[in-house]
Chains A and B, each alone.
Chain A
């Protein structure tokens, strides 16, 4: 069974035309078998291993067999670009989880990669989040020279996609005008309409850093590593710091956690920020973009589920509203 659906739809945002393939993706039928084959390469009989589906989203399906994980990447993933990104993970095993095989397989038209099982951050215990490890790994990634030919980091593209989905899937939600105004206030590079100006600097970036992108390997006591190379590439390194920056700015992440993350990034001599002083001149644009992205995703989800926004989601929408509020007087 492959992915089916209506023809791709186009959304015009500013000067960008974004294709929104309305895919009803299905898990490739052989993904579990593929994971099993990778876990037992000698075709040994399976002794009844632990198996399961770890994630099944439109953009990725992830299944597990014993200590092997198989991921079916998003439909339409460029095989050449994925291969280059996998090569980076294979070359930097002290920063990124290395793939079991640097060459993706193809199942039902989807690119499929296999990985060793890692232990993720416990979603029930976000206070135990390894902020220092996240920051240090990110700084080390940013300090690594990108290999020639590596594609661009996909952060701005993902933000544009989230806004495009909002306008197609939740066009009548009351937050849409607020989010579109905030989006329009961003410079073109942050909306994936132009390359970033060279003075912002470039580095090897993860492109989609959040707490779900960290695992301990080997599970459960190994060191933390970054996972998910789908958006990895060359880009403005402040983008990788902008999600925690956005959570902090929206009042969701306590100042203590944010301070730990910043301090660890600077201690590891991450190049995105000046060694001391105010980080916000560098973080402002990417943090605004990620706030609009996250707000768009969650408003879309809430609209599709027919539920009201909760307090955290309202905090994001309020922050987007303040981005375009006329500034009068002094604070």
Chain B
């Protein structure tokens, strides 16, 4: 394949699963349909690191984040636990 602008040969690179053609003459980059969107998405993921993966939960589990979503680190004072949970922790 040759560069549509300067007609120099283009080299193919693979970056994160995206095929990129770069011209060996003018260094111009050619993207196939949808690849710009893919790169933009990858960049957004990189810039915004994923929160620490919540450990998995079973299908019957409670919707997590609802019960104690706003209490990260807030263990001292104000941390809400149902009264029974204190007893559950310590009983058969």
Contacts and interface: CB of A to CB of B under 8 A. Distances in A.
Contacts of B68: 251, 254
Interface residues of A, number: 46
A212 B86 CA distance: 11
Nearest to A127: B75
Nearest to A251: B62
Interface stretch (A8-16, A42-50, A77-85, A305-313): A305-313
A173 interface: no
A211 B89 contact: yes
Contacts of B61: 248-251, 319, 322
Interface stretch (A136-144, A187-195, A255-263): A255-263
B58 A287 contact: yes
B63 interface: yes
A61 interface: no
B50 interface: no
Given A312-B81, A312-B82, A315-B62, A280 B91 contact: no
Contacts of A148: none
Contacts of A255: 54-55, 64
Interface of A: 59, 121, 123, 126-127, 129, 158, 208, 210-212, 247-252, 254-256, 258-259, 262, 278-280, 283-284, 287-288, 294, 297-298, 310-313, 315, 318-320, 322-323, 325, 327, 331
Interface of B: 54-64, 66-68, 71-72, 75-76, 79, 81-92
What 9 A-B pairs come out closest when comparing CB atoms?
Answer: A312-B82, A251-B62, A212-B90, A251-B67, A249-B61, A312-B84, A311-B82, A322-B60, A312-B85
Given A252-B82, A323-B60, 10 more contacts: A59-B92, A158-B92, A210-B92, A211-B89, A211-B90, A247-B89, A248-B61, A249-B57, A312-B81, A312-B83
